[in-house]
Amino acid sequence: MLPTLLLVAHGSRDARFPATAGRVRDAVADALPGADVRLSYLDLNEPLVGDTLDEVTGDCVVVPLLFAAGYHQKVDLPAIVAAHERPGRAIMQADVIGEFPLASALADRLREAGVNAADGRTGIVLSAVGSSDPSADQHVRRRAIELSTLLNRPVEVVFATKLGPREHRLRSAIRRLRAAGAQRIAVSPYFLSAGLLTERVEAALDDHAPGSLVAGPLGAHRDIVDAVCHHYWAAASADRPTVQESATTVSVNAATFVARA
Ligand SMILES: C[C@@]1(CC(=O)O)c2cc3[nH]c(cc4nc(cc5[nH]c(cc(n2)[C@H]1CCC(=O)O)[C@@](C)(CC(=O)O)[C@@H]5CCC(=O)O)C(CC(=O)O)=C4CCC(=O)O)c(CCC(=O)O)c3CC(=O)O
Ligand SMILES: [Co+2]
């Protein structure tokens, strides 16, 4: 028996968030026939992670639909997982999906919004949530460097929870891009879904750089699905060696997955 795959998304008061997370779940379930794929939330939507862990009886791999290992991945989720450990079953918390290469998925979303590779006149702002954990913000800055390398143009980072007074961080990002020759600004949201925080960045952009392009969030991009599958197999195959039969199944499938990827 394959372990249950429990996706954990952040949650939002914005209805687009659970709708998007649901599409990700469906795409993952299509990619993993034979696995029980479920979706839960840390907050603000239902079911909550803890309630789903109460329902799941067998082994379970928890895959966080988060990009950076910040507070939620390091503190919040491990505490919930620990509170649900029972003798005879394993709950494995996988890496965040941001540990998988996602710069080209961001570039795809920009292309869909009308930014083409040859157009060097568009300056890119990578927007992300922002964390109290400096290593999470550092992760976002590394992603921006990858995107900048891929698109061969400068990429500035802004954090939605840290725009500053009168959004001065967004304004200085725009100023730097213009100084480097940008005639138009495009935002690349390093977000799973549209939500209150993407909205906040867009509202600020309307004030400070009207007419800018905004790419779609990553949502059910193929690379997000691949990231989930990859982390699921990695966590499942690091499982206890006592589950001999399922370990074999898992490694066969992992090989298949690698061959396909
Ligand atoms: C709007 C709001 C909720 C509301 O008030 O309704 C909201 C919404 C969302 N957060 C999301 C994700 C994350 N949020 C954090 C962290 C924090 N989030 C916080 C607040 C708020 N977050 C409210 C705004 C209050 C304000 O103005 O500041 C902080 C300040 C305090 C707190 O959470 O209490 C704390 C920062 C400091 C700290 O780290 O402590 C991390 C980072 C981490 O885990 O470390 C991630 C994972 C990022 C990743 O994936 O890496 C997503 C999903 C985004 C997506 O689509 O991907 C949404 C959905 C949406 O935007 O609607
Ligand atoms: Co938050």
Do 35 and 164 belong to one domain?
Answer: no
pLDDT in tens, 201-210: 999 999 999 9
Sign, CA torsion 195/199/202/204: negative
The SS3 of residue 119 is coil
Do 109 and 209 belong to one domain?
Answer: yes
Do 131 and 87 belong to one domain?
Answer: no
Note the pLDDT of residue 146. 98
Atom nearest to 14 CA in ligand 1: 62
Note the pLDDT of residue 261. 33
Tokens 């996988």 correspond to 94
Ligand 2: centre distance to CA 82 (Å): 22
Whole domain around residue 155: which residue ranges?
103-214
Q: Find the helix or strand (DSSP H, E) in which 106 lies.
A: helix 103-112
Q: Assign residue 44 a region (left: φ > 0; alpha: ψ between -120 and 50; beta: otherwise).
A: left
Do 233 and 187 belong to one domain?
Answer: no
Do 119 and 170 belong to one domain?
Answer: yes
Ligand 2: centre distance to CA 190 (Å): 13
Pocket test for ligand 1, best of 39, 99, 129 (most atoms within 8 A of CB): 129
Q: Is this complex scored with an ipTM above 0.90?
A: yes
* DSSP secondary structure letter of residue 242: T
CA pair distance 10, 91, nearest whole angstrom: 19
| CATH number, position 20 | 3.40.50.1400
Do 79 and 173 belong to one domain?
Answer: no
Do 255 and 229 belong to one domain?
Answer: yes
Do 94 and 43 belong to one domain?
Answer: yes
CA distances from 177 to 21, 30, 159, 187 (A): 32, 41, 16, 12
131 lines ligand 1 (CB under 6 A): yes
Determine the residue type at 249.
T
The total of structural domains in the chain comes to: 2
- Percent of the chain predicted with pLDDT > 70: 91
The SS3 of residue 216 is coil
Atom nearest to 194 CA in ligand 1: 56
Do 144 and 77 belong to one domain?
Answer: no
Do 196 and 241 belong to one domain?
Answer: no
Evaluate if residue 244 carries a pLDDT over 60: no
Domain boundary among 197, 214, 231: 214
The SS3 of residue 125 is strand
Do 160 and 139 belong to one domain?
Answer: yes
